[in-house]
Amino acid sequence: MSAQVLSWQRVKQLPAPVWLMLWGNFFVRGSYFMVWPFLAVILYQRYELSATETGFWLTTAALTAVVAGFYAGHLSDRFGRKPLMLAGAVTGVLAFSALALADTLPLMLCCIFLATLPRALWDAPSKAWLGDLLPDSKDRELALQGLYFMVNAGAACGPVLGLWAGLSGNPHSFFITAASYGALGLGLLWLYRPGKLASSAAQTRPSHTLNFAAILQLLRQDQLFAVIILANILINFIYAHADSSLIQYLTRADFPDLVTLISSLVMVNSLIIVTCQFPLLRLLGHWPVIKRIHLGVVLLGLSQIWFALNPVDWFWGWLGAMAVLSIGEAVLFANMNVHLDQLAHPALRGSYFGAASLYAIGYSLSPLLGGLIIDVLGGPALFAISAGLCVLVLGCYTAAPRLRRPDFAAYKLPG
């Protein structure tokens, strides 16, 4: 891929719907992270839930969203992106407004489940929509890279702005997230107003009439895709240790001034992602996407080795390991989406991006399994195991191109 993927001329030529996606995701994720990370605190302070009870409900809600996201991608292939994306926006308005007003535990838990659905309904159809709008592969790569950047920028800015405005931890700030989804939905309606997108790729998007069972059968035949899904579940499992298991390990090790260390780790991760993603894309722009993924996995593995060997009381060592992990993340995660876009048949982009929601299984299971390993074997053993899993991921990506893919022609798919 040429480094021209980042040319200013290419950026300026991105159509208005792409900019809606980029800025919309920035504001939605930013407002979401103003409060969502404090939800565990709200559940404890208001309803006195234990850590285990809180973890159970949040994990169950996240896994429910995985199933919903899988099916939403399929529905967007059959019935169009617009209905699913509008449903996601409307659900976001209702769910986060309800979260702001919930005053009993059963209602709060119902709202938590509901609040995981907007992203599930929006994510796969919106990424598929980018593919529909941008026939040029370089434009699609730039848009997917930009989408990952804006989501991370929103996640980095949201908590800071929330603290500055005194909103973090205040349940009523969920209204801001609801308003962000409302603005996103109105922007989508504006773009789809009569005559606006009549001749665009979004209206001539390939469609199919395959039911969900047929899609599942097709995906089961795609051995290459199945191995990539497994590899990316493992990647998310390994990466999530930095958000959960690492904190558990440092807490149990009685690290002095733990709050300062945790805040510094979050800051290092956010700064590197926001400042390094596009310079790294320019630097590695001539590399094939699969080679970039290999590099990201290697960096992820090196960070796990560093975590495993770092003395518990070496403050700067933890920051150095997080820096290596963050560079790997900047290289890896956006290119996983680009690779998935390359694998998907044009008429099945929604279904493939929907199936990619299974990646979240790794992220969801990481706190539970990571905590168990820490309790039984200790923190260094957990990170050593994670480094070994990185080798397995590299093996999956190396073997995948030799595996069987389905005969798309047999399904009479357009495009």
First to last CA, the chain: 23
Is the pLDDT at 173 greater than 90, yes or no?
Answer: no
Look at residues 22, 26, 37 and name the one whose alpha carbon lies nearest to residue 162: 37
Is the pLDDT at 100 greater than 50, yes or no?
Answer: yes
Look at residues 313, 317, 293, 289 and name the one whose alpha carbon lies nearest to residue 303: 317
Amino acid at 156: A
How far is C-alpha 172 from the geometric centre of its chain's CA atoms?
A: 25
Is the pLDDT at 129 greater than 60, yes or no?
Answer: yes
Is the pLDDT at 167 greater than 60, yes or no?
Answer: no
Rounded average pLDDT over 60-78: 85
Per-residue pLDDT tens over the stretch 283-305? 888 899 999 999 999 999 999 99
DSSP assignment of 75-138:
HHHHH-HHHHHHHHHHHHHHHHHHHHH--SHHHHHHHHHHHTHHHHHHHHHHHHHHHHH--SHH
Is the pLDDT at 317 greater than 50, yes or no?
Answer: yes
Is the pLDDT at 202 greater than 50, yes or no?
Answer: no
Is the pLDDT at 200 greater than 60, yes or no?
Answer: no
Is the pLDDT at 5 greater than 60, yes or no?
Answer: no
Is the pLDDT at 264 greater than 50, yes or no?
Answer: yes
CA distances from residue 213 to 71, 161, 218 in whole angstroms, order as listed: 11, 45, 9
Q: In the chain, pLDDT over 70 holds for what percent of residues?
A: 87
In the three-class reduction of DSSP (H, G, I as helix; E, B as strand; rest coil), residue 166 is classed as: coil
CA–CA dist 342, 326 (Å, integer): 25
Instruction: Give residue 291's pLDDT.
Output: 94
Instruction: Give residue 231's pLDDT.
Output: 95
18 is written with which tokens?
């792409």
Cα torsion 230, 236, 238, 244: sign: negative
CA–CA dist 398, 254 (Å, integer): 41
| Contact status, residue 359 vs residue 236, Cβ threshold 8 Å | yes
Instruction: Give residue 8's pLDDT.
Output: 58
Band (125; pLDDT cuts 50, 70, 90): confident
Rounded average pLDDT over 6-18: 71
Predicted TM-score (pTM) above 0.75:
yes
CA–CA dist 362, 157 (Å, integer): 26
Instruction: Give residue 80's pLDDT.
Output: 83
Is the pLDDT at 309 greater than 90, yes or no?
Answer: yes
In terms of pLDDT, which residue wins out, 202 or 132? Answer: 132
Is the pLDDT at 353 greater than 80, yes or no?
Answer: yes
Instruction: Give Cβ neighbours of residue 237 (< 8 Å, ≥ 6 apart).
Output: 362, 363, 365, 366, 369, 386, 389
Rounded average pLDDT over 6-11: 62
Is the pLDDT at 2 greater than 50, yes or no?
Answer: no
- The structure tokens 């790997």 sit at 328
Q: In the chain, pLDDT over 90 holds for what percent of residues?
A: 24
349 is written with which tokens?
């982009």
Burial class (CB in 10 A: 0-12, 13-18, 19+), 382: buried
Query: Please, what's the b/e burial string for 72-98 (b: 16 or more CB within 10 A of its CB; e: otherwise)?
Result: bbbbbbbebbbebbbbbbebbbbbbbb
Rounded average pLDDT over 307-322: 93
Instruction: Give Cβ neighbours of residue 360 (< 8 Å, ≥ 6 apart).
Output: 62, 63, 65, 66, 69, 236
Mean pLDDT of all residues belonging to the chain: 83
Is the pLDDT at 205 greater than 60, yes or no?
Answer: no
